[in-house]
Amino acid sequence: MTSPAKLIIISVLLLIEFTSHTVGISEVLFKSVQSRSTHRYISNHSVEIVNGTLYTEFQLIRRLDPGVRCHLEFQLRIANSKRYQSLFFFDIDICGTIIALKDHFLKSWYRSLMKYSNFMENCPFNPDRYYLKGWKLDASLFPKYLYPGDYNIIVIIYNGPYRKRGMDLVTEVQLETNVI
């Protein structure tokens, strides 16, 4: 009899082997976006998708100090359905990720965002008018272990414990994305 841990390790190794032989992703297109923000932090928030690229503009009215967090979740559309299945999520300290020396795909995403925006390179995030104009996620920055398909990417910026009493929502954005 094999233990559950051995089965998990074998499954992961097979997944890695299988995905190393899959065809690469050629394009990531944003299809739709939904957002909501807390008026204590953000005002005059607009967000839209134009030709598969993301545009947003908002006024940050309250400083975001070190310790502000991001919940980033990837969901894959189930075949022949409108429903999405959660694949995995990250819960990170935004400031810690920005200043980290280790190159992580999330840090690469942030560097990509900065090319199209006036987002801060360090913390704290001071009250100001921020924008993102025409950002398109480069296919090379999409996680290699994910397959082409329809994804929902959920980004929740918050302070305090995630989804518990005391969570202080800053903003939430959901991006429907087509990965080719």
What CATH number does the domain containing 119 carry?
Answer: 2.70.220
Condensed to tens digits (0 to 9), the pLDDT of residues 12-45 reads: 544 554 444 445 678 899 999 999 999 999 999 9
Residue-level pLDDT at 105: 72
Classify residue 5: in a domain, yes or no: no
Residue 104 structural domain: 24-179
Q: Coil, strand or helix: which one is 146?
A: coil
Residue-level pLDDT at 17: 46
Classify residue 87: in a domain, yes or no: yes
Task: Please tell me the total count of domains within the chain.
Answer: 1
Classify residue 121: in a domain, yes or no: yes
Instruction: Give the dihedral sign, CA 108/21/153/97.
Output: negative
Does 10 score more than 90 pLDDT?
A: no
CA angle 155, 158, 160 (to 5 degrees): 140
Residue-level pLDDT at 102: 62
Condensed to tens digits (0 to 9), the pLDDT of residues 89-114 reads: 989 999 888 887 566 677 788 889 99
Segment holding 97, helix H or strand E: helix 94-99
Residue-level pLDDT at 80: 86
Classify residue 19: in a domain, yes or no: no
Condensed to tens digits (0 to 9), the pLDDT of residues 75-86 reads: 999 888 889 999
Classify residue 97: in a domain, yes or no: yes
**159 against 120, higher pLDDT:** 159
Beta strands in the chain, from DSSP E residues, in sequence order? 28-37, 42-50, 53-60, 69-77, 84-93, 128-135, 149-159, 168-179
**2 against 114, higher pLDDT:** 114
- DSSP letters for 28-70: EEEEEEEEEE-TTTEEEEEEEEETTEEEEEEEE-S-B-TT-EE
Classify residue 17: in a domain, yes or no: no
Classify residue 8: in a domain, yes or no: no
Q: State the average pLDDT over residues 158-173.
A: 92
Mean residue pLDDT of the chain comes to 86
Classify residue 36: in a domain, yes or no: yes
